[in-house]
Amino acid sequence: MNQHQALLAYVSRLGDNGLILGQRMIEVVAAYPELEEELANANFALDYIGQARMFYTYAGELEGSGRSEDDFAFLRDENEFHNYLLIEQPNGHFGDSIAKLVLFDSFYLLLLEALKDCNVKRLAEIAARAEKEIRYHLRHNSQWLVRLGDGTEASHARVQDSVDSLWQYTGELFAADEVDQIFAESFAGPDLEAIQEQWKANVATILEEATLTMPGDGWMASGGKQGRHSEHFGYMIAEMQYLQRTHPGATW
């Protein structure tokens, strides 16, 4: 894999993460328990999708074969999406969603901070913009985690379960593959080991405030970054891509 291919794969993967998480969150729009949180969730989902659009547009330009953001989103198959397994997990209950977002945003914020310093100018610019959005997401979602964890006995037990069951998907965030390595070496990309250490410290602080226990490092799932997804994934993109697949090229 040469530098250009690695950069393309890296940028397209960032797009996949934004799109898939945004799509997951949009599934619960109009089904939230409170109007105010409903709005927050919809805002956040649109932030992720907006970021995905920027990444995909850039990936299309890098690729040079004329693919648009829509082609990336709607006309690729399951194994061509290289997002983390963590973010494609079903929404579950409110505590599940919040736990997933705290675990992911804690990582994503650090990643974006590091990307601001990479030597791909376009990517650094997108990261600088996205970082502000994610900083707020994390602030909001970690407040919820604290309130659920340090709330009632029932909310504590349920959200501890959420953290425990999602933990197995966090290892993949830091497992550098060939794309990550080339990107780090050739483009001054993020150092995932350093990010992991910082992530653990930050997550430990939030969990402690939430009176939750940090799970131990057990077996970790992987495969998302290589396009091997959990069973939930196919259903999600089937819904997402239905219109373009059924009526190719449809616009309005």
Name the minimum Å distance from CB 75 to another protein: 31
Q: Which stretch binds another protein (CB under 8 A): 48-56, 118-126, 138-146, 222-230?
A: 138-146
Tell which one of 78, 91, 92, 151 touches another protein (CB under 8 A): 151
Q: Which stretch binds another protein (CB under 8 A): 14-22, 106-114, 139-147, 165-173?
A: 139-147
Asked if 36 touches another protein (CB under 8 A), the answer is: yes
Name the minimum Å distance from CB 93 to another protein: 16
Tell which one of 40, 124, 176, 220 touches another protein (CB under 8 A): 40
Name the minimum Å distance from CB 146 to another protein: 6
Name the minimum Å distance from CB 89 to another protein: 24
Tell which one of 115, 146, 184, 237 touches another protein (CB under 8 A): 146
Site string for another protein, 198-237 (x = CB under 8 A): -----------x----------------------------
Question: What is the DSSP track for the chain?
Answer: --HHHHHHHHHHHHHHHHHHHHHHHHTTTT--SSHHHHHHHHHHHHHHHHHHHHHHHHHHHHHTS---HHHHHHS--GGG----HHHHS---SHHHHHHHHHHHHHHHHHHHHHHTTSS-HHHHHHHHHHHHHHHHHHHHHHHHHHHHHTS-HHHHHHHHHHHHHHGGGSGGGG---HHHHHHHHHH----HHHHHHHHHHHHHHHHHHTTPPPPP-------GGGT---THHHHHHHHHHHHHHHSTT---
Binding footprint of another protein on the chain (CB under 8 A): 34-37, 39-40, 43, 139-140, 143-144, 146-147, 150-152, 209
